[in-house]
Chains A and B, each alone.
Chain A
């Protein structure tokens, strides 16, 4: 098998971080060009013959000497791949990767004062940054503000404790929103008061936020109000919204290559593309000839014959017999 240009990795270890979160330690092949803390990687694993691909953040330190790196994932209740990783992935499994991607990375040189905010599993890219600071002896001031439901639900708890007590330059503050710790400095969800308490002026503090949409929206609004938007960098991963019971078509259909976005009309993707004035290749229009097969970048589609819903990232679909379910992005 020619793998010269293909990034592959063997699973070295699967660590259960919490009841729902997993870290996968990987040994990449020679095609891997490394990563910058904050980046993610497309992670493909074969389940029953089918390669399933998802995006996961790198969580390990950049300075590892053994060439290994790790991704960390919180198992989504409906997430096929994240569940598989958490429950079934075994060491020595071969996984298919992309190069590290994403521009949620720190500038070089790293600013002297930095605010990192994360919620839930959004901690993963920031954890890679924190670990790299620790291992490189970074001397600038860093404040890490993390929101988790409870201490039991928090990933990397022991390591965060260590980093918190390692020195004055890094301040680690965790807020447990559902089960606050006794005598906690801060409680509740993120608000302007939390930054005031920490003595942070958003307008003068480069800030990195990763987490659920709600947290990002709140931070965004606050920075917008204070005119500090240019200090803010955000990142969240979207889980495809599968709306099986929707009688009416919802969401938008994006034709990536032609930069066209239309409201999902409920018709097949081929029909919708043609309505939008595109001329995709097609043949039989009944799911036989495969002429119309294209890449679906992300989103869920339903096969009009079998009714099967498929929500894989980056997979080939026949657009003549698939209708979008919610937001879909295809390479057309």
Chain B
């Protein structure tokens, strides 16, 4: 069976500081067109250097305060989890039970967003503390860390919003951008999104098992099987902990209270996970799917410079404004733009980085997509509704005869080119 896509081939890191280009064109002289509507190549170069300076300045300042911060967050999160777990054992006294539920949901939100996500980006690797080592960390969610890190840290953060490369554009489920071909299932964009919101952690897990990449030959069968195996192992672990172990610990309470207490503990765990799902879904969908967030083609991004890479991250992300507590609860992903520009800088630094980013945005007259949570959520919903409608242009419909003919012609051309398609090495 002919392979439809060449594997993703990152550029070597040699001479990184001179020309970091995640996508290479066959034509070495071709220049990426990203950002030309805003800046000249010289300005793009300067823009990249200015952001590199910001990065270096923040890196030079990182130290004890950042270490203390993440440890304090971990301490608070662990206390919340203990309070939550204990509170759930009091279903016969509902105020305590509800408080327990709230604490457990909060603890899961903080663990997933401010601790798990950020630690696994390697934001605290400089501390050399095994507790916050991006390589070893495993989070409290059914998605295994290893596969999430590949699809998120590597694919999504390197090829952000490039069609055909960043699988986070609509998560293979939704049509959120004009550049995606429309299929009849996209009519159900909104109801499917609502359902995904409730079971978001399972969606994240499923996303890490790259079935479409396997079917199109981007990953080997062995790697695909390994992804499935890791997912099942993590599912067993999470289900055992939340839905078997803690309800079972409530069984000894039955003689003292009532038969339904373990069921209430089970219910509390389910609800806490759902609350976390709803929250993280909303924060994450607001990061890339509001209106005016830009997407790119491979063609445009080929041979991009450091400045253009930074600019693509800026144009492809959206922020949410809010209070300090709100930012903490989102794991500072409310500063999605700053996070995408510097994914491995401790997230608590993003508000500080945002000042510099805004300064550069002013200087070069760039868009900066931000707004309150309600505004961004509404914008996402509108986008989902707008792109659910069948486009008039048949080439935008994936199942139209015109699109099919075009794809066949492209495949035939590719077959003639006779380019050997190398296998991605199993990692």
0 or 1 for each of B1-43: is its CB under 8 Å from A? (1 = yes) = 0000000001111101100101000000000000000000000
What is the CA–CA distance of A49 and B11 in the complex, to the nearest angstrom? 33
Minimal beta-carbon separation of A300 from chain B (angstroms): 15
Minimal beta-carbon separation of A43 from chain B (angstroms): 13
Contact partners of A321 in chain B: CB under 8 A: 13, 16
0 or 1 for each of B39-80: is its CB under 8 Å from A? (1 = yes) = 000000000000010001001001111111000000100000
Instruction: Knowing A304-B13, A321-B13, say if A284 contacts B157 (CB, 8 Å).
Output: yes
Q: Would B13 and A315 count as touching, CB distance under 8 A?
A: no
Minimal beta-carbon separation of B147 from chain A (angstroms): 11
**Using a CB-CB cutoff of 8 Å, which residues 111-141 of chain B contact chain A?**
120-122, 125-129, 131, 133-135
Q: Would B122 and A290 count as touching, CB distance under 8 A?
A: yes
Minimal beta-carbon separation of A49 from chain B (angstroms): 3
Minimal beta-carbon separation of B160 from chain A (angstroms): 10
What is the CA–CA distance of A117 and B237 in the complex, to the nearest angstrom? 55
Instruction: Knowing A283-B154, A290-B149, A305-B16, say if A48 contacts B63 (CB, 8 Å).
Output: yes
A306 touches B (CB below 8 Å): yes
Q: Would B13 and A49 count as touching, CB distance under 8 A?
A: no
What is the CA–CA distance of A46 and B65 in the complex, to the nearest angstrom? 12
Contact partners of A290 in chain B: CB under 8 A: 120-122, 125, 134-135, 149, 153, 344
B158 touches A (CB below 8 Å): yes
Q: Would B67 and A284 count as touching, CB distance under 8 A?
A: no
Contact partners of A315 in chain B: CB under 8 A: 128
Q: Would B126 and A50 count as touching, CB distance under 8 A?
A: yes
What is the CA–CA distance of A268 and B12 in the complex, to the nearest angstrom? 10
Contact partners of B16 in chain A: CB under 8 A: 285-287, 304-305, 320-321
Minimal beta-carbon separation of B302 from chain A (angstroms): 15
Q: Would B14 and A279 count as touching, CB distance under 8 A?
A: no
Partner of A306, one of B56, B120, B427: B56
Instruction: Knowing A48-B64, A279-B427, A284-B154, say if A291 contacts B149 (CB, 8 Å).
Output: yes
Partner of B154, one of A48, A52, A291: A291
B324 touches A (CB below 8 Å): no
Most chain A C-beta atoms within 10 Å of own C-beta, residue among B17, B56, B59: B17
What is the CA–CA distance of A52 and B128 in the complex, to the nearest angstrom? 7
Q: Would A284 and B64 count as touching, CB distance under 8 A?
A: no
Q: Would A286 and B20 count as touching, CB distance under 8 A?
A: yes
What is the CA–CA distance of A270 and B10 in the complex, to the nearest angstrom? 13
What is the CA–CA distance of A294 and B135 in the complex, to the nearest angstrom? 8
A267 touches B (CB below 8 Å): yes
What is the CA–CA distance of A143 and B402 in the complex, to the nearest angstrom? 93
Q: Would A51 and B127 count as touching, CB distance under 8 A?
A: yes
Q: Would B10 and A304 count as touching, CB distance under 8 A?
A: no
Contact partners of A291 in chain B: CB under 8 A: 149-150, 153-154, 427
Instruction: Knowing A49-B63, A50-B126, A305-B17, say if A271 contacts B12 (CB, 8 Å).
Output: yes
Minimal beta-carbon separation of A80 from chain B (angstroms): 13
A123 touches B (CB below 8 Å): no
Q: Would B153 and A289 count as touching, CB distance under 8 A?
A: yes
**Using a CB-CB cutoff of 8 Å, which residues 399-427 of chain B contact chain A?**
425-427
Q: Would B13 and A289 count as touching, CB distance under 8 A?
A: no
Partner of A53, one of B59, B128, B425: B128
Minimal beta-carbon separation of B31 from chain A (angstroms): 19
**Using a CB-CB cutoff of 8 Å, which residues 48-103 of chain A contact chain B?**
48-53
Q: What residue of chain B has the Cβ atom nearest to residue A51's Cβ?
A: B128
A281 touches B (CB below 8 Å): yes
B343 touches A (CB below 8 Å): yes
Q: Would A283 and B150 count as touching, CB distance under 8 A?
A: yes
Contact partners of A281 in chain B: CB under 8 A: 427
Q: Would B67 and A49 count as touching, CB distance under 8 A?
A: yes
Q: Would A289 and B126 count as touching, CB distance under 8 A?
A: no
Partner of B10, one of A49, A52, A283: A283
Minimal beta-carbon separation of B12 from chain A (angstroms): 6
Q: What residue of chain A has the Cβ atom nearest to residue B124's Cβ?
A: A49
Q: Would B427 and A304 count as touching, CB distance under 8 A?
A: no
What is the CA–CA distance of A48 and B131 in the complex, to the nearest angstrom? 17
Q: Would A49 and B66 count as touching, CB distance under 8 A?
A: yes
Instruction: Knowing A50-B128, A306-B56, A316-B128, say if A285 contacts B12 (CB, 8 Å).
Output: yes
Most chain A C-beta atoms within 10 Å of own C-beta, residue among B14, B68, B121, B344: B14
A264 touches B (CB below 8 Å): no
Q: Would A285 and B11 count as touching, CB distance under 8 A?
A: yes
Minimal beta-carbon separation of B184 from chain A (angstroms): 35
Contact partners of A283 in chain B: CB under 8 A: 10, 150, 153-154, 158
Q: Would A284 and B427 count as touching, CB distance under 8 A?
A: no
**Using a CB-CB cutoff of 8 Å, which residues 177-226 of chain A contact chain B?**
none
Instruction: Knowing A49-B66, A51-B128, A315-B128, say if A285 contacts B122 (CB, 8 Å).
Output: no
Contact partners of B64 in chain A: CB under 8 A: 46, 48-49
Minimal beta-carbon separation of A161 from chain B (angstroms): 41
Contact partners of B11 in chain A: CB under 8 A: 285-286
Q: Would B344 and A279 count as touching, CB distance under 8 A?
A: no
What is the CA–CA distance of A235 and B386 in the complex, to the nearest angstrom? 72
A241 touches B (CB below 8 Å): no
**Using a CB-CB cutoff of 8 Å, which residues 138-173 of chain A contact chain B?**
none
**Using a CB-CB cutoff of 8 Å, which residues 9-53 of chain A contact chain B?**
44, 46, 48-53
What is the CA–CA distance of A316 and B131 in the complex, to the nearest angstrom? 13
What is the CA–CA distance of A186 and B132 in the complex, to the nearest angstrom? 54
Q: What residue of chain A has the Cβ atom nearest to residue B59's Cβ?
A: A306
Q: Would B134 and A293 count as touching, CB distance under 8 A?
A: yes
Contact partners of B128 in chain A: CB under 8 A: 44, 50-53, 312, 314-316
Minimal beta-carbon separation of B66 from chain A (angstroms): 6
Minimal beta-carbon separation of B293 from chain A (angstroms): 20
Minimal beta-carbon separation of B136 from chain A (angstroms): 9
Interface residues of A (CB under 8 A from B): 1, 44, 46, 48-53, 267-268, 270-271, 279, 281-291, 293-294, 304-306, 312, 314-316, 318, 320-321
* 12 A-B pairs in the complex with CB atoms less than 8 angstroms apart: A46-B127, A46-B129, A52-B128, A283-B150, A284-B22, A287-B344, A290-B344, A291-B427, A312-B128, A316-B135, A321-B13, A321-B16
**Which 4 residue pairs are nearest across A and B when measured between Cβ atoms?**
A283-B154, A49-B67, A290-B122, A51-B128
Q: A49-B62, A285-B10, A316-B125 are in contact. List 11 more A-B contacts (CB 8 A).
A: A49-B67, A283-B10, A284-B22, A284-B158, A286-B158, A287-B16, A288-B157, A289-B153, A291-B427, A316-B133, A318-B122
